[in-house]
């Protein structure tokens, strides 16, 4: 491939040229949601970040398999109900089957990700559907000598592992440091060392979600599913593993340990981590209770929201920041994103109306190259967007006669919009694709025609009435030199 993608690899703390193991194929695994609650803004960030990566890999011609799991087995919760499975807890409260809860929130997750125009992964495996694979993995780790059983639970022997393989390699931790700092947790007494982690946990009486295993009736450890499922669908070694930075330790560190212990292989070649979304400078997260769900954003129904925001505004807001930077939420920032996106969409949708000149006063091929460079430089979407705004400037200036564009360059501008704005950034005009669009266009032409006649007769009372009443139903009329244009507000 001519164009080379570089990505920041957490493992080496450097940007590296992406070279897949088996071109033209590329494999990526991303930690998906735990489906026991409604998706919030924080969930949108990795979904959109790795959607951008997925789209970019496809754009580059890689036949990409994107695997993103659904965690429906639940994890331990650190509150009064110690040791109780999260999903099981919620199920008991609401008096329904645990799988009903998981299904409900899986559907909710899909619904809101669809609205954000996040492409569905190639495979979306469920942890509960891969218990056998997880048990097999525990057995492999056992055979390799890195696991021990206590009272029906199985733990990973971190100290032993660390003697031959550096535990903490990904997160930059040293075992000696970890020894000094650990807290009291459930099941701590059973472990040889506090930093050992569970591969299989025996279920307590009140624990509803449970499966048979060689050791006990219980449930898989917290980090096991990702290792088992990534191995199953992408192989013992694969290209990219992504997730939020908060998963770096211990989750991803443990995944590496499990893979190396079971297969002797590092498994992942490029680790990529998206940063957090903050609110008032603090991470938006479930445990802090400071999250705003996507539904609340779309409806505006939250005390911190001054208005509702379109899914595309949320997507654009996230893409305006680089994925490795924190992104601070505020109404002001979202409103700025909303306006910027509207400007971008309005300009690009008017490319087709540009009049071609003999010569261009602008360099479109160069602009196109800059877009490519930004994208391929570790998915630098903010720079890419800045370049798209340069295209906006050119389009609008051309409309004003301040710049000229050739027929070829008009095609080039359209190609930039199609490729980068729609295909790769996945942004779309909210009004596009509406099945009533043709009807609406027809109706609007009638209204604009009447208004034009009124204005010709200087009947501004009528023309203003049409404009104002359309505004009331969220349609904006703009008078230009070439007649009136309309758009949704």
Partner RNA sequence: GGUCUCUUGGCCGAGCGGCUAGGCACCGGUCUGCAAAACCGACUACUCCGGUUCGAAUCCGGAAGAGACCUCCA
- State whether residue 122 is helix, strand or coil: coil
- In the bound state with RNA, the residue whose beta carbon lies nearer, of 26 and 470, is 470
Q: How far is the CB of 220 from RNA (least distance, A)?
A: 12
d(CA 325, CA 304): 23
Positive or negative torsion for Cα 120, 275, 314, 32: positive
How many alpha carbons fall within 13 Å on the CB side of residue 10? 25
CA distances from 298 to 48, 112, 303, 315 (A): 16, 9, 13, 12
Q: What is the crossing angle of helices 331-348 and 381-399, to 10°?
A: 50
Of 361 and 419, CB closest to RNA: 361
Question: Minimum Å distance from CB 340 to RNA?
Answer: 3
Contact (CB, 8 A) for 275 and 323: yes
Give me the least distance between CB of 118 and RNA, in Å please: 13
Least distance in Å: CB of 379 to RNA?
10
Closest CA to 18 of 420, 326, 375: 375
Q: Which is nearer to RNA, 236 or 400 (CB)?
A: 400
Closer by beta carbon to RNA, 184 or else 205? 184
Shortest Å distance, C-beta 356 to RNA = 18
Residue with tokens 């300009």: 347
Please report which helix (H) or strand (E) contains residue 487, including its range.
strand 483-488
Q: Count of residues for the chain?
A: 489
Question: Burial letters for 368-384: b for 16+ Cβ neighbours within 10 Å, e otherwise?
Answer: bebbbebbbbbbbbebb
Q: Which is nearer to RNA, 12 or 325 (CB)?
A: 325
Rounded to the nearest whole angstrom, what is the least distance from the CB of residue 1 to RNA in the complex? Answer: 22
In the bound state with RNA, the residue whose beta carbon lies nearer, of 103 and 335, is 335
Q: Is 294 or 337 the residue whose CB approaches RNA more closely?
A: 337
- Burial (CB count <10 Å: 0-12, 13-18, 19+), residue 245: middle
**Which two three-digit tokens encode residue 18?**
């992406």
Min dist. Cβ of residue 300 to RNA (A): 18
């Amino acid at each position: 491939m001519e164009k080379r993608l570089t990505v920041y690899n957490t493992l080496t703390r450097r940007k590296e040229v992406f070279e897949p193991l088996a071109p033209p194929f590329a494999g990526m695994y991303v930690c998906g949601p735990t489906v026991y609650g409604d998706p919030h803004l924080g969930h949108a960030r990795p979904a959109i970040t790795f959607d951008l990566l997925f789209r970019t890999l496809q754009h580059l011609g890689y036949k990409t398999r994107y695997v993103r799991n659904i965690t429906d087995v639940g994890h331990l919760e650190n509150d009064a109900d110690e040791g109780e499975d999260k999903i099981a807890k919620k199920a008991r409260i609401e008096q329904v089957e645990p799988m009903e809860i998981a299904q409900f929130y899986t559907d909710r997750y899909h619904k809101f990700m669809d609205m954000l125009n996040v492409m569905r992964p190639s495979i979306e495996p469920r942890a509960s559907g891969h218990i056998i694979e997880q048990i097999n993995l525990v057995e492999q780790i056992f055979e390799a000598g890195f696991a021990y059983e206590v009272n029906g639970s199985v733990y990973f022997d971190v100290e032993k592992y660390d003697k031959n393989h550096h535990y903490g390699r990904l997160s930059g931790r040293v075992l000696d440091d970890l020894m000094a700092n650990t807290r009291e947790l459930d099941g701590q007494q059973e472990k040889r060392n506090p930093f050992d982690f569970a591969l299989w946990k025996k279920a307590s009486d009140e624990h509803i979600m449970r499966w048979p295993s060689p050791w006990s009736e219980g449930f898989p450890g917290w980090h096991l599913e990702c290792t088992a499922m990534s191995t199953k669908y992408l192989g013992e070694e694969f290209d990219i593993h992504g997730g939020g930075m908060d998963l770096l330790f211990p989750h991803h560190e443990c995944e590496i340990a499990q893979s190396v212990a079971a297969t002797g292989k590092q498994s992942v070649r490029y680790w990529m981590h998206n940063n957090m979304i903050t609110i008032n400078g603090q991470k938006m997260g479930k445990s802090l209770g400071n999250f705003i769900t996507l539904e609340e954003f779309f409806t505006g129904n939250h005390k911190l929201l001054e208005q509702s925001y379109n899914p595309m505004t949320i997507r654009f807001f996230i893409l305006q920041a680089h994925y490795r930077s924190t992104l601070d939420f505020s109404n002001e920032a979202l409103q700025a994103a909303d306006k910027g996106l509207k400007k971008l969409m309005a300009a690009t949708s008017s490319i087709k109306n540009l009049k071609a000149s003999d010569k261009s006063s602008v360099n479109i091929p160069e602009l196109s190259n800059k877009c490519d460079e930004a994208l391929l430089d570790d998915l630098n979407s903010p720079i890419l967007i800045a370049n798209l705004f340069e295209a906006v400037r050119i389009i609008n200036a051309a409309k004003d006669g301040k710049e000229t564009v050739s027929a070829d360059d008009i095609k080039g501008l359209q190609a930039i919009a199609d490729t980068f704005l729609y295909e790769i950034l996945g942004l779309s005009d909210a009004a596009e694709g509406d099945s009533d669009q043709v009807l609406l266009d027809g109706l609007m032409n009638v209204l604009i025609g009447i208004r034009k006649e009124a204005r010709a007769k200087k009947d501004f009372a009528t023309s203003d009435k049409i404009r104002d009443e359309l505004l009331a139903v969220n349609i904006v009329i703009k008078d230009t030199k070439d007649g009136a244009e309309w758009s949704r507000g």
